[in-house]
Structure 1
Amino acid sequence: MALLLLTSSIWAFSFGLIGNRLAGLDPAVVAFARLALSLLAFLPFACRGAAPRPAPALKLLLLGGLQFGLMYLLYIESFRHLPSHAVALFTVTTPVYVALLAGARQPRRLPRPLLAALLAVLGAALVNWKTPGGDRLWLGFALVQGSNLCFAAGQLLYRRVMRAPGGVSNHQALTWMYAGAVMACLPFALRGWRVHGFAPDRGQLLVLLYLGVVASGLCFWLWNTGARQVRHAGTLAVMNNAKIPLGMALSLLLFDESADPWRLSLAGVALLAGVILCEWPAPRPAEAT
């Protein structure tokens, strides 16, 4: 759990950096550059051991395209429509998707996650209600939810893939996953580069280096390593949200974003209530006497 908490604390800085320091750069190119830097950071470690067999390697490529590639395409695009503190707030629903996907084979467990999802929509409505440009805010909310779903599915699939026989190490797995993510982002990045170009200044290059090597490279390795160590999906779901309060505070205070504190607080309560509802232990059925 310590690894998950450390990772969430580092990730908290990413919201404000992306929303305020990388504004004006094409989101797909940013996603590609960030993941390419992560891949380069892990390549030396991947060369130390034997390459995985073709079947596990293909699974890891596809998994990386989902958990990292598609997730980042949606996530970074959302900053064009939402302030960074709202992006941080709306990532709170990731545990709901973890619970939904983990309980998909047990329909009796689905009512709570579904109700939690409705509370998430209520929270978004509280933020977006009567706000200028509300249509763009709803689009941003939908993009964040798509990103959350990709990340939730990726975590659960990663645990399954890594627990299967095959002997793939964490750093090898992450390298193959980053390769899959880079391949998934490449066509979108090429299109974005042709349309918008890519000319970051020195400060933006430093932010990209930090996001690629530290926030994505190091932190995803720490996160997935910690995810393998926890016994219950519920613990993994709760730790997803450790980054949110700090991320919102940094965006509002350090990056001087503005927000209605009452509406933001009410939205946070609605979203948090959904997560608590999703994670609260279900009552055990009474035993026959």
Structure 2
Amino acid sequence: MLYLIFVTIIWSFSFSFIGVYISGQVDTWFAVVMRVLLAFITFLPFLRFRNIKLKTLFLLMGVGACQLGIMYFFYYNSFQYISVPEVLLFTIFTPIYVTVIYDLLQRHPLRLSYLFTAIIAVIGAAIIRYDHISANFIIGFLLIQGANIVFALGQVGYKRIMEIYPMPQHQAFAWVYFGAVIVATVGWLLFGDASKLPTTILQWSIIIWLGVVASGICYFLWNFGATKVDSGTLAIMNNVVIPTGILVNVVIWHQSLDWLRFILGSVVIVLALLLHYKVKNRSLS
């Protein structure tokens, strides 16, 4: 749980960094390929070929392709159509995707109690940010939902892989990032715009920070933390970044905020997490 909380705090800055300094100024595919490449380089010393089944290797690469490569394409492009707060708003559906996908992968009936608490978390997030929606919200919404689905598929898939094929996770994540690099590189070669490379030290610094810290270290910690909690907790924690991300956007970039909605929504999300634990403990007793 502590891993997920720590990563949430770090990721809270990523939304504003991308929305303010990267989106529309730096080519999307270049930003994606640099981010995952730096993450891969960070974990390159842990890349191992021995004692890893070929099937496991490809599954891990598939996780990276979904959770990082494809997800970032949807995610970065969404900032061209919607604002940072709207991006945060539209991520509220991730908990539902996490819950549903995990149950599907386990091939057992959907646990309605997990889905119920995830929906409560969605309501809490909606309270925070459901106000003005821009004219391009449909495109932005669809892009974010694409990002949400592949992000959920990646983290849940990783959790299942570690349950079925346990291995040192720092070694596993080297292959996850390698899969992301392959997808992002192909995307850059096919669709990249070489005329829109970073032009300032600040942009390069943000890309390096996003690659090494927000992706390289934090995605590892997030997926590592995902293996330590149940799918219900994981689903709800996906929405905690919404109030923290908005708070960063308000405090540092001085965006306006309805504090009443912010507090009420945050309380609802916390209550969803507490309710989930209560339901979980009752089912175990």
TM range (shorter): 0.7 to 0.9
Matches of 1:15 and 1:225 in 2, distance apart? 22
2:120 is the counterpart of 1:151 = no
Cross-structure match for 2:55: 55
Does residue 1:85 correspond to 2:85, yes or no? yes
Determine if the alignment matches structure 1 residue 98 to structure 2 residue 98.
Answer: yes
Q: CA deviation at 1:214?
A: 0.4
Distance 1:46 1:82, change over 3 A: same
Q: Can you give the 5+ residue segments of structure 2 that lack an aligned partner in the other structure?
A: none
Pick closer, same or farther for the CA change 1:197–1:183 going to 2, 3 Å.
same
Among 210, 232, 243, the residue aligned to 1:234: 232
- Cα separation, 2, equivalents of 1:249 and 1:64: 29
Which letter does structure 1 place at the counterpart of 2:61? L
How big is the shift at 1:257? 3.3
SS of match in other structure, 1:50: coil
Q: Report Cα offsets for 1:209-228 as digits up to 9, x if no partner.
A: 10000010001111111111
CA contact (8 A) 2:63 2:155 kept: no
Post-superposition CA distance 1:168-188 (Å, at most 9, x none)? 311111111111111111222
Q: TM-score, normalised by structure 2?
A: 0.82
Task: Give the structure 1 partner of residue 2 of structure 2.
Answer: 2
User: Retained in 2: the 8 A contact 1:123–1:267?
Assistant: no
Q: What corresponds to 1:199 in structure 2? A: 198
User: What is the total number of aligned residue pairs between the two structures?
Assistant: 278
- How far apart in 2 are the matches of 1:254 and 1:22? 17
Change (3 A) 1:82 1:210: same
Q: Which residue of 1 aligns with 2:245?
A: 247
Query: Cα distance, 1:281 vs. partner?
Result: 4.0
- Structure 1 pair 196–51 and aligned structure 2 pair: CA distance change class (3 A): farther
TM superposition shift of 1:7: 1.1
Matches within 5 A, 1:32-51: 32-46=33-47, 50=50
8 Å contact 1:97–1:113 — kept in the other structure? no
% identical equivalent positions? 32
Q: 2-side partners of 1:196 and 1:92: how far apart?
A: 34
> What residue in structure 1 maps to residue 179 of structure 2?
180
Cα contact 2:37–2:181 (8 A) shared by 1: yes
5 Å-filtered alignment, 1:99-138, equals 99-104=99-104, 105-107=107-109, 109=111, 113=115, 116=119, 123=126, 127=130, 131=133, 133-134=134-135, 136-138=136-138
| Max Rg structure | 1
Q: 1:263 and 1:27 mapped to 2: Cα distance?
A: 35
Q: 2: distance between equivalents of 1:156 and 1:148?
A: 12
Q: Deviations over 1:232-257 (max 9, x none)?
A: 21111122222221110111231233
Give the 3 Å change call, closer, same or farther, for CA 141–266 of structure 1 in structure 2.
farther
SS of equivalent residue, structure 1 residue 229? coil
Return closer, same or farther for 1:272/1:6 CA change in 2, 3 Å cut-off. closer
Residues 255/33 of structure 1: CA separation in 2 closer, same or farther (3 Å cut): same
Give the corresponding residue for 2:161: 161
Match of 1:242, SS?
A: helix
Q: SS where residue 11 of structure 1 aligns? A: helix
Q: Secondary structure at the match of 2:197?
A: coil
Is residue 60–residue 176 contact of structure 1 (8 Å, CA) maintained in 2? yes
Task: Check whether the contact 2:114–2:232 (CA below 8 A) recurs between aligned residues.
Answer: no
| 1:253 partner SS | helix
Distance 1:263 1:75 in 2: 28
1:90/1:3 CA distance change after superposition, 3 Å: same
Aligned to 1:75: 75
> By how many angstroms is 1:51 displaced?
5.6
TM-score normalised per structure 1: 0.81
Q: Residues 193-222 of structure 1, C-alpha deviation per residue, up to 9 Å, x if partnerless?
A: 346432331100000110000010001111
